[in-house]
Amino acid sequence: METAELLEAARGGDERAFERLVEPHRRELHQHCYRMLGSVHDADDAVQESLLRAWKAIGRFDGRQPVRPWLYRIATNRCLTSLETRRRRELPTDLSPDALPGAEVEWLEPYPDARLGLDALGPEARVVARERVELAFVAALQRLSPLQRAVLLLREVLEFPAREVAELLETSVPAVNSALQRARAVVEARTPARSQQRELADLGPEVRAVVERYAAAWEAADVDALVAMLAEDVRLEMPPTPEWYEGPAAVRAALLAGPITYRWRMVPTWANGQLTVAGYRWDESRGLYVGEGVDLLTLRDGRITAITAFLVDDLGEFGVPRTMS
């Protein structure tokens, strides 16, 4: 059926027609909610609730505007409501120096590239999709007010016209333009001039060598080999641990204090459009390697400038096994 026919059937109570109507937008909506909320799990809930609201309201949708902006109105407002009562998502390097030890923090979560639907995209669209979830960009978004965040995403990522954004957010065009200007300034100040996609493109086939060297260093517990890959301004952070480390010497000491001394298996994958390695720690009681998390690598000129090590409950979401023998 065509879109108009699906809409008519959905308005008549056909749930299967509604599912077919919204399915092409589901993946994109999830990415939008992740950027707004900084959490894959919160995005799951937001999309589910938004589509439920859309189903309940479909009878009142007159179809004079396309379905896509209507769905984004519902999803964006759902995210804004959620943000009224939630702390912003953080990375350890974003915490202020006077943050109280033990203070309750909601941490930014990694986004599996498997959720981006890259197989259905052309080469240029793949680059854009990955850039829009890069860790530095998503982390910068969390420093914005909820309104600024929504405006920036609707205007610059989704490319909605200012008037449409104003209507969606029930504000004025001047207010949208003002919020966009402030949001741009914050994001530009907190993101590198070159995206990870450009860095990876410049490396070309060497990308594979970088991830293989990183994995081999961990599996061999070779801290010297790992440190040799690091830039002078490298940062290591391991949420939910609030402490972070800067410079090769500090990173070396942190790794030798525990992490790299264990037995590991490492498997390359992708998250937030970035080179990522899934880590499996040996569990003597089970006699196998158990997935613990993912290391997102940020590169500059072939060297690692940041290692963000996330604990992950289910590595299966990242397209790799949950355990290894």
Rounded Cα gap, residues 176 and 113, in angstroms: 31
Which of the four CATH numbers 1.10.260.40, 3.10.580.10, 1.10.1740.10, 1.10.10.10 does domain 3-190 have?
A: 1.10.1740.10
SS3 281: strand
Contact call for residues 121 and 129 (beta carbons, < 8 A)? yes
Pick from 139, 97, 82, 151: which is nearest to 296 by CA? 139
- Per-residue confidence in pLDDT tens, the chain, 325 aa: 688 899 899 899 999 999 999 999 999 999 999 999 999 999 999 999 999 999 999 999 988 889 999 999 999 999 999 999 999 999 999 986 555 555 689 999 999 999 999 999 999 999 999 999 999 999 999 999 999 999 999 999 999 999 999 999 999 999 999 999 999 999 999 999 999 999 999 999 999 999 999 999 999 999 999 999 999 999 999 999 999 999 999 999 999 998 999 999 999 999 999 999 999 999 999 999 999 999 999 999 999 999 999 999 999 999 999 999 9
**Can you give the pLDDT at residue 1?**
65
The domain ranges of the chain are 3-190, 196-324
Rounded Cα gap, residues 169 and 77, in angstroms: 8
Contact call for residues 38 and 108 (beta carbons, < 8 A)? yes
Do 3-190 and 196-324 come out as alike in CATH topology? no
Tokens of 211: 């991830």
Task: Look at the domain 196-324 and name its fold.
Answer: Nuclear Transport Factor 2; Chain: A, (3.10.450)
Global pTM value? 0.95
Residues 6+ apart with CB under 8 A from 207: 200, 275
